[in-house]
């Protein structure tokens, strides 16, 4: 009798325990890079902040290094509801919205501060919602950094220096057009294959951030790196739009605040890492680092004008102009 009475008391008491205390909302955050990268650090910071702001209400599980899904599958997994947050490269979204190609336009932004200003602008923020009709909602932009150009040749100053050379690129129509505009041959290739391709001469050059060049040791198999800052490699943190809109308002608010703080943290990490690795590459002395003059940059911009023209219709002239204004 006593056991039956106690059991009924436990059942009755549990009825008054808030549902979220028993079952926090599980948020799976999947990404493809290591935890010590800017993206990896920002994801962990988001987990820390979200669970602190919403104690007992959410549990954030971070899966780095393609533990759950690789590059090719993560967007599909998000749309199916198998994960709730991912942070792919911006160039991955061009099949959902052509406007996102603005970030791939060569020599559009002067520096990472200009990128920041554009991403924070009304036009930059509006891009986060352009894929909502296809089930994706952007929550934030995370930096990797500005791109620099490298080759296995002694000279890398002007557009004519890359004519006829083979360059590895991410899969992007804009990046393909960028290299064709200067008479080079773009080769789409997985990130994991780039070092060996440079080492064996399958490709002559590549474009990447200082931190990627250093961590992947590209500076050891390239003769020259030009500090071009000609493009940006950034990520967009995206969620399943239907899932996000179905969250309680207080949870959505807390997650948005955590995301904003994690974004500032991660972007600072990215900027610091790129500056540190730029110095390390120079100190290593294996590749010559070339600083371009204003005339050099002007020559590159002139050579890239056809690329801007080609994609202006898809991206939108107003959006390109808004991005240009961020340089002022």
Residues 45-54 have pLDDT tens digits of: 999 999 999 9
Q: Averaged over 6-32, what is the pLDDT? A: 64
Position of tokens 């997985």? 190
Asked if pLDDT for residue 30 goes beyond 60, the answer is: yes
Assessment of whether the complete model's pTM goes beyond 0.95:
no
Least confident among 17-31, 137-151, 202-216: 17-31
Q: What is the pLDDT of residue 328?
A: 81
Q: Averaged over 4-26, what is the pLDDT? A: 54
Q: What is the pLDDT of residue 90?
A: 94
pLDDT band at 9 (very low <50, low <70, confident <90, very high): very low
End-to-end, the C-alpha distance of the chain in Å comes to 80
CA 157 vs CA 161, 288, 293, 308: distances in Å: 7, 12, 9, 21
CA pair distance 122, 120, nearest whole angstrom: 7
Asked if pLDDT for residue 185 goes beyond 50, the answer is: yes
pLDDT band at 305 (very low <50, low <70, confident <90, very high): very high
CA pair distance 243, 63, nearest whole angstrom: 19
Q: Is 147 exposed, middle or buried (0-12, 13-18, 19+ CB in 10 A)?
A: buried
Other CB atoms within 10 Å distance of the CB of residue 40: 20
Q: What is the pLDDT of residue 135?
A: 97
CA 141 vs CA 212, 236, 270, 306, 308: distances in Å: 18, 5, 12, 28, 23
What is the tens place of the pLDDT at every residue in 86-135? 999 998 899 999 999 999 999 999 999 999 999 999 999 999 999 999 99
CA pair distance 210, 149, nearest whole angstrom: 10
What is the tens place of the pLDDT at every residue in 273-301? 999 999 999 999 999 999 999 999 999 99
CA pair distance 172, 95, nearest whole angstrom: 10
Position of tokens 């554009």? 118
What is the tens place of the pLDDT at every residue in 39-86? 999 999 999 999 999 999 999 999 998 999 988 899 999 999 999 999
CATH topology of domain 19-325: D-Maltodextrin-Binding Protein; domain 2 (3.40.190)
Residue count (the chain): 328
Contact predicate 30/83, CB 8 Å:
yes
pLDDT band at 191 (very low <50, low <70, confident <90, very high): confident
CA pair distance 40, 112, nearest whole angstrom: 20
| Residue 69, C-beta contacts closer than 8 angstroms, at least 6 positions apart | 30, 77, 82, 83, 86
Cα torsion 40, 43, 49, 50 to 10°: value is: -160
pLDDT band at 6 (very low <50, low <70, confident <90, very high): very low
Asked if pLDDT for residue 147 goes beyond 90, the answer is: yes
Exposure pattern of 7-27 as b/e (b: 16+ CB <10 Å)?
eeeeeeeeeeeeeeeeebbeb
Q: What is the pLDDT of residue 5?
A: 44
Domain definitions of the chain by residue range: 19-325
What is the tens place of the pLDDT at every residue in 229-277? 999 999 999 999 999 999 999 999 999 999 999 999 999 999 999 999 9
Give which of 30, 28, 33, 29 is closest to 273, Cα–Cα.
Answer: 33
Q: What is the pLDDT of residue 302?
A: 96
């Amino acid at each position: 009798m006593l056991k039956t009475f106690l059991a009924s008391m436990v059942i009755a008491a549990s009825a008054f325990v808030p549902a979220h205390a028993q079952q926090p909302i599980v948020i799976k955050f999947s990404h493809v890079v290591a935890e010590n990268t800017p993206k990896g650090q920002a994801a962990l910071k988001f987990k820390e902040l979200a669970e602190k702001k919403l104690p007992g209400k959410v549990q954030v599980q971070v899966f780095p290094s393609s533990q759950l899904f690789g590059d090719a599958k993560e967007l599909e997994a998000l749309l199916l509801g198998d994960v709730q947050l991912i942070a792919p490269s911006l160039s991955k979204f061009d099949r959902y919205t052509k406007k996102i190609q603005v970030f791939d336009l060569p020599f559009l932004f002067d520096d990472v501060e200009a990128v920041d200003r554009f991403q924070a602008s009304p036009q930059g923020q509006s891009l986060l919602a352009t894929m909502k009709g296809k089930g994706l909602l952007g929550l934030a932009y995370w930096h990797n950094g500005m791109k620099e150009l490298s080759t296995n040749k002694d000279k890398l100053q002007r557009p004519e220096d890359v004519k006829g050379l083979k360059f590895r690129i991410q899969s992007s129509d804009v990046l393909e057009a960028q290299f064709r505009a200067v008479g080079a041959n773009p080769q789409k290739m997985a990130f994991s294959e780039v070092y060996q391709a440079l080492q064996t001469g399958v490709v002559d050059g590549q474009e990447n951030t200082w931190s990627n060049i250093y961590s992947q040791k590209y500076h050891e198999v390239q003769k020259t790196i030009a500090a071009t800052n000609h493009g940006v490699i950034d990520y967009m943190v995206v969620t399943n739009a239907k899932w996000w809109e179905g969250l309680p308002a207080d949870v959505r608010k807390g997650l948005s605040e955590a995301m904003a703080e994690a974004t500032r943290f991660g972007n600072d990490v990215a900027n610091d890492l790129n500056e540190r690795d730029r110095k390390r590459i120079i100190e290593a002395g294996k590749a010559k680092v070339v600083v371009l003059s204003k005339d050099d940059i002007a020559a590159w911009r002139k050579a890239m004008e056809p690329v801007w023209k080609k994609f202006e219709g898809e991206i939108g002239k107003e959006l390109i102009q808004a991005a240009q204004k961020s340089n002022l």
